[in-house]
Structure 1
């Protein structure tokens, strides 16, 4: 047997050994979805995205909770209702433009999310002002420009105060209220709600199998956690937006 034959036998043996050791591991990783999991939060939408763990519906009296009807005026002076978000996945927040504390952080995080899905026309944001008497459309427009809000489906809305507070506290169970504080005068949650294309409130399950309901909106991905040890949930929200876009 010449040297060339020995070389071919050696190469064949190495290929066989690779197949025996590594191919089962690769197959197993594909089955467990580990190969693509880390790529799912890349910019844009992966239309082949699949996840067996569908997001939960928030149920009230055994029925999935849907966004109630609303009608407010946005930063461009247009009337916006829940129907403008049909067929879209969107994030909901309650804020006010003169808020000196959590609102700037919340909206920087939302702009971050906006930029991840900037090429997807089915993603939007609904921001409701809790000081509508101060936040006229032109004020909201200036605020949008200041923070780099460019998504055409991101509406910053103003309107009847009673209706906005009802929408927050009853419609989304996101706390909004007035406080005896001359400097601020208002208190509200820093949480975001996530809405699917059919107008239902959705979220992932926690460690006990219950819907998380909301996503922490104050802590950024860069901060990772706050001073109390609460971990950021912006990455989680991006993942879940993507999941709903692919439903």
Structure 2
């Protein structure tokens, strides 16, 4: 990266804000009895006038529009995930540490929901210079997954790193670590409105078990909204 220090500082600030907000959100909103998931991240109170009365709406952090290319050279944008529940992560194909564990766990999510048309998986490479479309294609073929269900995407490096911050995930070049990149192993659960609904440690089976169960809750919520 051209400015690894700035990215690191920005990501640290965002991560701290996310942790504090998430902790407060879980303590205030998580309610197993009603089977709902909290909306994580920053929020803003916005006032509007309706029939002469002041109404306060809560505006939640939303993943912004994006544009990447997947292993089939297909454009992947916010339209690809429109109206769907999706799980996202950040990795690179030559990762010597946590990525193999992450992908073995993401495969469990894939197997659990591969037949559900309302679920998509989205994995971003943080090493776009090496991880070309052809490399990602070979990687996906080794995992033996359907490409319309699990998109491995690449694109402009800075756009990918900026997107990682939108998901509150750490990712940066780091010549001081093996592999040359450092990143978190988190899986992020996103709803049909592009709100963050869960954060899970992608190297831990128990936490991925929780993700798989939380996805059931979110899909039920989605069905309820469509009625």
* 1:202 equivalenced with 2:197 (yes/no): yes
Structure 2 contact 35–217 (Cα < 8 Å) conserved: no
The Cα of 1:114 is off from its aligned counterpart by 0.8
Structure 1 contact 51–243 (Cα < 8 Å) conserved: no
Structure 2 contact 83–118 (Cα < 8 Å) conserved: yes
RMSD: 1.6
Q: Unaligned stretches of 5+ in structure 2?
A: 1-31, 45-58, 222-227
CA distances 1:25-52 after superposition (whole Å, capped 9, x unpaired):
xxxxxxxxxxxxxxxxxxxxxxxxx961
The Cα of 1:177 is off from its aligned counterpart by 1.1
Q: Which residue of 1 aligns with 2:68?
A: 72
Q: Which residue of 2 aligns with 1:164?
A: 160
Q: How does 1:13-92 map to 2 (within 5 A)?
A: 52-62=34-44, 63-92=59-88
Structure 1 contact 191–217 (Cα < 8 Å) conserved: yes
Rounded to whole Å, the distance in 1 between the matches of 2:33 and 2:123 is 29
* 1:93 equivalenced with 2:67 (yes/no): no
- What TM-score, normalized to structure 2? 0.74
Q: How does 1:89-238 map to 2 (within 5 A)?
A: 89-150=85-146, 152-169=148-165, 171-181=166-176, 183-203=178-198, 214-220=199-205, 232-238=206-212
Rounded to whole Å, the distance in 2 between the matches of 1:243 and 1:176 is 29
The structure whose residues are more often strand, as a share, is 2
CA distances 1:178-197 after superposition (whole Å, capped 9, x unpaired):
21237411000000110011
Rounded to whole Å, the distance in 2 between the matches of 1:95 and 1:118 is 21
Q: Unaligned stretches of 5+ in structure 1?
A: 1-49, 204-213, 221-231
Rounded to whole Å, the distance in 1 between the matches of 2:147 and 2:97 is 24
Aligned in 2, Cα 1:146/1:51: closer, same or farther, shift over 3 Å?
A: farther
- What TM-score, normalized to structure 1? 0.68
Moved over 4 A (4+): none
Rounded to whole Å, the distance in 2 between the matches of 1:55 and 1:135 is 34
The Cα of 1:61 is off from its aligned counterpart by 3.6
